[in-house]
Structure 1
Amino acid sequence: MKKYAYIGCLGFLAVITTEFGIIGILPQVAEHYQISIDKAGYLLSAFALVIALTGPFMTLLASGFNRKKVMLTAIFIFLITGIVSSFSPPFWLLMVVRILPAFLQPVYIATALAVAISKADKDRKNELMSIVFSGVAIAMVTTVPIATFLASLRSWEYSFVVQAVVSFVALAGIYFVLPSMPVKEKKSYGSQLKILTKPTFIISTAMNFFMITAWFSTYSYFAEYLNKAKSMDNTMVSYMLFLFGIIGVFSNWVAGKMLNRNIAKTTAFFLSGTILIPILLHFSGGDTITTIIAIGIWGFLYSPSFLNASTYMISSAPDSLEFANSLATSFGNLGVTLGTTLGGWMIMTKGVEYNPWIGLIFGALAFLMIALRSFLERKTVDARKSSCEIGVNQ
């Protein structure tokens, strides 16, 4: 049912606002706490690292619980995070409350996707998943730029107020709209862990990791990059985030349609941005109009990255959707961690204007993984044909 997909999207909006809302205010947070920009980046990278390390285990543990209760618990913790953070606590406490919801973020995403497609026909599953994942793009066009804009007008704490409000609305939506959803048949841990022995799944996981690393080496420092490399003020950055997101909403819809036709080609098409965007940003120089066009293309090609990564991984393990998606979320966030860390290192050693070139290198590695999986799948098909021909001849 589409209703379930939209509720999942609403919760995803809260999740993404909390995880990535920090991106637009990193320079202000660094200034408030008198720390370097790369240390402020820990608020994003630590969040992502917790997801990467605990996501699959938490998803396995939660796989037998009532799905509505799991989603309510996860979003409630996101609400607490927004409330505490809005009071500008000491940096160590801000870090702790930022980390807490990270333990349940992949659990929420995997559960929301499972709920969205629970009563769907096979040919509509990718479309419903794209509705859930559109929460990423909607956050980029609404809550993230609004939070950044309010922070530029008043103070960075207002960004967390927005996060808390969005989490409260999502919590109410899940509570009043979703019915109780007990798990009727819990899959054994062993049956789900089997996917870790599949070479195509492992390669798909590597593709996800490299792709997200590529994007986040620059995107994690979106505000810093536009401030320093493109001489935009904080208000202009909030407008750019708005542009980025509004194009991303359309992009997620397009990606959902394309994925129903060909998953590998769709993933490769959007992945091309990791190669194209560094070149466009480099040659846009200080020209504002050209930079805005480049940011629009960036938003279009980046926005479906999590949807593409999850769909690409799930397609190699269709019988273990929740566990496969939790691994997609975990390795994607490991990519966020590495991308943010490498981006911070580049800023401190060379300058933020060099960050997009990190994306180009990891984007090339992601393309290599797509080619490798395609080769293995063709090899498997050819081997089956040969065995069938031998059987017929005998």
Structure 2
Amino acid sequence: MKKIAIIGCLGMIGVITTEFGIIGILPEIARHYQIRIDQAGILLSAFALIIALTGPFMTLLASGINRRKIMLVAIALFAVTGIVSSLSPPFWLLVLVRLIPAFLQPVYISTAIAAAVAGADESKANQLMGIVLGGIAIAMVTTVPLATYMAGLFSWKTSFVVQALVSLVALLAIFKVMPSMPVKEKKSFGSQLKILKSSKFMVSTAMNFFMIAAWFSTYSYFADYLGKVKQMNPLMISYMMLLFGLTGVISNWIAGRMLGKNLVLTTTVFLSGTLLIPFALQFSGGNTITTMMVIGVWGFLYAPCFLNASAYMISAAPNALEFANSLATSFGNLGVTIGTLVSGFVLSSYSLTYIPWVGAAFGLASLLMIAIRSRMWP
């Protein structure tokens, strides 16, 4: 199953590069299309909103289809999106073409995880899931900063070329290496939908939403924040994204092992960064070295958020793995959408310097959900 997990990880790199590679070039896109930065942020928030609204339904519909076929179709759509986006289409078309693969993103993630953990011992499941979701951290340290770096050297359109190439490599790997994986026993819709009646699962879902909203309320405007508040140029910002991702790769590996020992403590420790980072960013001021240290810690605490959220939600619904995963992805992306929109409102109405505190507010709400679940369902 480790081979399947690695292939799933490679596809995840393509998925994440497409979804979040846009963050580093939002200022350039805003300038090119002569729009405000919060309007350019629609390229991220609209993508995430589609995932949030359609993810569970698409996953249910695809639950009986051969997992290899689903993964191939999903990654192919991501590759096409990158190619079309690199041609600098009108802004409305750029938004539209980014929405297409969003319909299958949660299907890909839940399918890749289900394929990786199929038949694995429970003690190994979180580690295999960690390998798949480790693609998020790997993308943050390789392809996402590379896309930003290439955009700085050439043009923002080059970033989409990088995104397309990554997806094409993942597509080739799935086609050549992954075996056919027909679903042997399709669970009924009713048996999977039962988890929505579980109060424990719904509290876990709320925790997921608030946690992702907390992180992305600041991370969505990472490049703009570093450029305008910390006075960094595009090249320096790409280095900061590299540092951010590098510490994230390490923490994702650590979190995958910690989760198997203590789920609640692991989730709480990494979530505490949503409260720590705003103070640290404020303290660092204009000192570049101190800011670099803060970004390193920020990346370390941020990276496992999707892994922690998935593990936390699945622990409340072990008998509906794929559907629970799709809900984790959907509500996580709803968190991306709301976090991005709320911070966009704050920066357009007040100041960019306030957005880390938006994250702290969402972080407190997420910690409250953990406390409620721990008290009611110990």
* Fold match by TM threshold 0.5: yes
* Deviation at residue 119 of structure 1 after TM alignment: 2.7
Partner of 2:198: 198
Which deviations, in whole Å up to 9, do the C-alpha atoms of 1:246-274 show, x marking residues without a partner? Answer: 11111100000000101111000100000
Partner of 1:331: 331
Letter in 1 for 2:63: S
Which deviations, in whole Å up to 9, do the C-alpha atoms of 1:339-363 show, x marking residues without a partner? Answer: 1101111111111111000011110
State the secondary structure of the residue aligned to 2:180: coil
Partner of 1:372: 372
Partner of 1:64: 64
TM-score (norm 2): 0.99
Letter in 2 for 1:256: G
What does residue range 101-180 of structure 1 map to in structure 2 within 5 Å? Answer: 101-180=101-180
Structure 2 CA distance for aligned equivalents of residues 174 and 281 of structure 1: 41
Letter in 2 for 1:233: N
Partner of 1:211: 211
* Deviation at residue 121 of structure 1 after TM alignment: 1.1
Which deviations, in whole Å up to 9, do the C-alpha atoms of 1:170-206 show, x marking residues without a partner? Answer: 0000011111111111000000000001111000000
Which aligned segments of 4 or more residues in structure 1 are displaced greater than 2 angstroms?
none
State the secondary structure of the residue aligned to 1:318: coil
Work out whether 1:277 is the aligned partner of 2:267.
Answer: no
Partner of 1:287: 287
Runs of 5+ consecutive residues of structure 2 not aligned to the other structure: none
Identity %: 67
Structure 1 CA distance for aligned equivalents of residues 177 and 76 of structure 2: 16
Partner of 2:181: 181
Which deviations, in whole Å up to 9, do the C-alpha atoms of 1:3-59 show, x marking residues without a partner? Answer: 000000000000000000000000000000000000000000000000000000000
Letter in 2 for 1:141: V
Partner of 2:228: 228
Structure 2 CA distance for aligned equivalents of residues 136 and 95 of structure 1: 22
Structure 2 CA distance for aligned equivalents of residues 184 and 127 of structure 1: 24
Structure 2 CA distance for aligned equivalents of residues 143 and 206 of structure 1: 30
Runs of 5+ consecutive residues of structure 1 not aligned to the other structure: 379-394
Work out whether 1:246 is the aligned partner of 2:246.
Answer: yes
Letter in 2 for 1:41: G
State the secondary structure of the residue aligned to 2:367: helix
Partner of 1:237: 237
Letter in 1 for 2:368: L
Partner of 2:25: 25
The Cα RMSD (Å) is 0.5
Between 323-332 and 115-124, the greater mean CA deviation after superposition: 115-124
Which deviations, in whole Å up to 9, do the C-alpha atoms of 1:68-102 show, x marking residues without a partner? Answer: 00000000000100000000000011001100000
Letter in 2 for 1:227: G
State the secondary structure of the residue aligned to 2:377: helix
Work out whether 1:84 is the aligned partner of 2:77.
Answer: no
Letter in 2 for 1:270: F
State the secondary structure of the residue aligned to 1:147: helix
Letter in 2 for 1:255: A
Structure 2 CA distance for aligned equivalents of residues 135 and 223 of structure 1: 21
Partner of 2:11: 11
Letter in 2 for 1:80: V
